Amino acid sequence: MKPNQGSRRALWFIAGCVLLVATAGEAQNVSVGVVLDMESWVGKMGLSCIHMSLSEFYEANSHYNTRIVLHPKDSAADVVGAAAAALDLIKNNKVEAILGPTTSMQTNFTNFVIKLAHKAHVPVLTFTASSPALASHRSPYFFRLTHTDSAQLAAISALVKAYNWRQVVLIYQDDEFGDGMSPYLIHALQGVNARVPYQSIIDPTATEDHIGEELHKLITMPTRVFLVHMQPSLAIRLFAKANEIRMMREGYVWILTDATANLLDSMSSSVLKSMEGALGVRTYVPKSMELDRFKIKWKREFIMENFVLNDPHLDIFGLWAYDAARALAIAVEKTVAKNFTFENPNGSENLTDLQTLGVSQNGEKIVEALSKTKFMGLTGNYEIVNGQLQSAEFEIVNVNSNGGNRVGFWNPEKGLLSNNMTVIWPGNTAAVPKGWEFPTAGKRLRIGVPMKEGYSEFVKVKGKEVKGYCTDVFNAVIATLPYDVPFDYIPFALPNGSSAGSYDDLIMQVHKGVYDGAVGDITIIANRSKYVDFTLPFTEPGVSIVVPTQANSKNRAWLFLKPLTLDLWITSFCFFVFTGFVVWILEHRINQDFRGPPSHHIGTSLWFSFCTMVFAQRETLISNLARFVVIIWFFVVFILTESYMGSLTSLLTLQQLQPTITNINQLLKKQPSVGYQQGSFVWELLTSLGLKNLKSYGSLEELDKLFKLGSSNGGIDVAFDEIPYIKLFRGKFPNKYTMVDPDYKTEGFGFAFPIGSLLVADISRAILHVTESKKINQLHKEWFGDQGNSWSSIPKVTSSELSMNNFWGLFLIVGAVAITVLLVYFVIFLYKEKHTLRRTANESSNLSIGNKIRALLKIYDERDLTSHTFRKGNPPKVVDNKIYPIHDDSVGISPNSNYPSSPSNYSIHDMIYESSEFVDLSSSNQIVEMVIHTITEVTPENEE
């Protein structure tokens, strides 16, 4: 027969008396109160563990000077009862410490109890109250010898992150226990980018029907990940109902906090069956021989003392109770007090019960000793810091009929670690649930569609009928999803059928929940992403410039000048002249082609230089230095002419697609009229760039009309728009307009959904599937014709002018080589003519510098008779019956004389050369007369 509660208390009292008598005269007794719900499992288990802890402690430490004597009080699961019990223990039993109460609710209510203990200097040690809200009580006399619920937050959030669940529904009980934890849970989940779209709050006294109604609400929601934080008694009822309405099937995820998970091993198989597949986070207790020994001993004694027939299971709360009692016993012994007494207040007949409380004379010493307590307990390393048991490690368990299999492990240093064990999810499946599904019983999605007059190829609304390229892409994307998503297109329009606002207004309606999403030619930009989540884009991104092409003859008459910029034209011309001048200097003294009157010198030099442009020069170069310069110049001319021809060819072969404006700097300088699509975000871009003369358009035809008018007639010269619109426009009006850099980055068109929508990820993946298939090309062709498939081949026209930046290195090389060659030439010239220059300097020593320079130039202007081109024996050239003599090196000024050599040194060819540039061989009389005239002039008068 099972004894009643009174008989059990009598047994404990007798045991205490026996312990007291056994130690009387040897140790000092210290009164300690125990406040527990004696009818609850935790209360029964906790009290038995406390007794066993003290019994084993003093048995192992019989030499200690103190012995704790327990004074148990039943709180009867009532907060008022817990407070009354604590007050009675302090006032009447003069306890030096209190173990308990059982729950966070009772301790929270007993902010009063904590303050009461603080007033009486009586430490309160709880081994079950885990609410984070208790951290607000800063009394040094309050010790939480259990792990706070917030310690498990990191483990829970790491678990959610590991499976990439983006939304979690929080289910907790409606009292201080649940309310105190919910803000911490939400904050932790947000830290891993998981939202809590809904919080299900269930009263601990709720009926089965009420629990069922709340669970049915969850079924209609897309989220399938549920985090349960409640006491085991309520959690058991919740899972029983969830199993009944088939919420423990495949696709669902249930996560238990340690409030329930810590007690899994003590639950019946029928209860565990309703929880199968759930994950639990519970405190990790390392295995040890001492723990195994105690479990066996505790079970044997608990069965004998309580006359129970079932198999009791020791859980973490019993272990914490055991270690808490031991910690208190160690602290009491360390106080080394001779007497444990209370100081009574001043006596008065009008004092209340609270005012008559005494003050413990050893409470402060016990608090100090507890704060320094460290030992190896049944739960592992036991250390109290600032009144709080240090955070523990947690294990992730998968609930089954035997309690739970460990599938993961978490500690503060390494985070979440996997056991490489397969998790069996609800529905007896190993496939990881994605965490959400579209509820088939839910409402149809309301998809907002923008209203606009033009660009009907993208979106076209006619009455309730909605169609267009964007909606067809959305339909194709939804069709590829592995589940059904019912939806309706809702035009964003006023009752009269006109547009209800801009695209930004439509986005805000999605943000406010008026629409469940938005489909259309909606550009993904940063400002809009603050209010909605976008899918991946399904069109080409970017904003660019569209301008008319130069198709009139006036502009094309000077097209040949376009390949080179003005500075490059001028530089090229200067280097042509400079190269001709250098060649003339190097060839003038030795090459008859570069001699003659001044006009002949200039003409020949320029002619030679510009002929190098087409490699058609006829003058033969004699000087190796000149040849070297020309070789380098040929290289530069070749690159320059090829680049010019390539650029000119590009301009001609693009079918006159050269734009009227080629860059943004021209726009900012000229400030022409600029067009933008009505209602587009491009207006903000243009104003930020500093463009002022802005005109809007609503259709392709209106844009073409504005271009035809031009700025002078109220139209535009250039337009900014998104690339899909520009390509559609160019496809409709081919060869009249073109795109020009720059390309301002945007992300293209995307579908918009509320922030955190679970559809975004699946639809984005489906967009990739559609855009990589043939389906997208079919839709292009259907809505945009052939140009839809050729969008990617339409070229952008950029500035094709070649500038000095492209060639300055080549000109630098030519200039450096030419100057170096000139320096070498003049050094050689001065060395060869040193005798003549010295003699000339002596004769003109009294002359001015200008006359000296003229004398030097005169010497340079003479032929270099030492050159092989003027040596004797060279036959004359005969072209078209005309003799072109080649001067012999024996003719002319002797290096050592200012006078001509004797006539005997003259050849007939020399005489012919001196008298004429050429001789007509067809006239023999002319030859004879020329020879006689020449001999007469050169023969001295005294010779015959």
Confidence band, pLDDT 50/70/90 cuts, at residue 756: confident
> Do residues 500 and 715 make contact, with C-beta atoms less than 8 angstroms apart?
no
- H helices present in 747-833, as ranges: 759-771, 775-784, 786-789, 804-832
Asked if the model's pLDDT at residue 141 lies above 50, the reply is yes
Return the higher-pLDDT residue of 812 and 592: 812
**Contact by Cβ (8 Å): 378, 322:** yes
CATH of domain 446-541+746-797: 3.40.190.10
Q: Which of 386-400, 582-596, 666-680 has the lowest mean pLDDT?
A: 582-596
Percent above pLDDT 90 for the chain: 29
Q: What is the pLDDT of residue 585?
A: 81
Task: Report pLDDT for 20.
Answer: 47
Sort 452 into a burial class: Cβ within 10 Å, 0-12 / 13-18 / 19+.
buried
User: Is the model more confident about 501 or about 928?
Assistant: 501
Nearest to 113 by CA among 86, 77, 92, 89: 86
| DSSP code string of 65-89 | SEEEEEEEEE-TT-HHHHHHHHHHH
DSSP class per residue in 492-557: -B-TTSSB-S-HHHHHHHHHHTSSSEE-SS-B--TTGGGTEEE---SS---EEEEEEB--SHHHHT
What average pLDDT does the segment 399-404 reach? 89
The pLDDT, as a whole number, for residue 847 is 60
pLDDT at 880: 47
In the CATH scheme, what architecture does the domain 5-146+290-337 have?
3-Layer(aba) Sandwich (3.40)
Helix (H), strand (E) at residue 670: helix 664-670
Of residues 919, 937, 861, 863, the one with CA closest to residue 893: 863
| Residues with Cβ within 8 Å of residue 703, at least 6 apart in sequence | 675, 697, 719, 729
pLDDT in tens, 214-229: 999 999 888 999 999 9
Cis peptide before 895 (omega within 30 of 0): no
Say if 150-282+394-418 and 446-541+746-797 have the same CATH topology. Answer: no
CA distance 468 to 652: 38
What phi and psi, each to the nearest 5 degrees, are found at residue 638? -60, -50
Spans of all domains in the chain: 5-146+290-337, 150-282+394-418, 446-541+746-797, 559-654+804-832, 868-938
Return the DSSP state at 423: P
pLDDT at 435 over 80: yes
pLDDT of 889 strictly over 50: no
Phi, psi dihedrals of residue 334, rounded to the nearest 5°: -75, -15
Most confident of the ranges 209-218, 723-732, 865-874: 209-218
Helix (H/G/I), strand (E/B), else coil: 768: helix
- What tokens were used for 205? 């006294």
Fold of 150-282+394-418: Rossmann fold (3.40.50)
The pLDDT tens digits of the residues spanning 325-374 come to 999 999 999 886 667 776 766 555 544 566 667 788 888 899 999 998 99
Using the predicted structure, report yes or no on whether residue 440 has a pLDDT greater than 80: no
Look at residue 872 and tell me whether its pLDDT is greater than 60: no
684 in helix, strand or coil?
A: helix
Backbone φ, ψ for residue 395 (5° rounding): -120, 145
Instruction: Report the number of secondary-structure helices (H) and strands (E) in the chain.
Output: 33, 34
Statement: residue 41 has pLDDT above 80: yes
In whole angstroms, how large is the CA radius of gyration of the chain?
52
Residue 634 in tokens: 């040929």
Indicate the average pLDDT of the chain. 79
Of residues 506 and 843, the one with the higher pLDDT is 506
Distance, in Å, from the CA atom of 577 to the CA atom of 583, rounded to the nearest integer, reads 10
Taking the CB of residue 531, how many other CB atoms lie within 10 A of it?
16
User: What's the rounded Cα separation, in Å, for the pair 134 and 713?
Assistant: 77
Query: Which pLDDT score, from 0 to 100, does residue 601 have?
Result: 67
pLDDT of residue 358: 79
Residues facing 398 on adjacent strands? 279, 405
Mean pLDDT calculated for residue range 833-859: 69
Do residues 159 and 407 lie in contact, with contact meaning Cβ atoms separated by under 8 Å? no
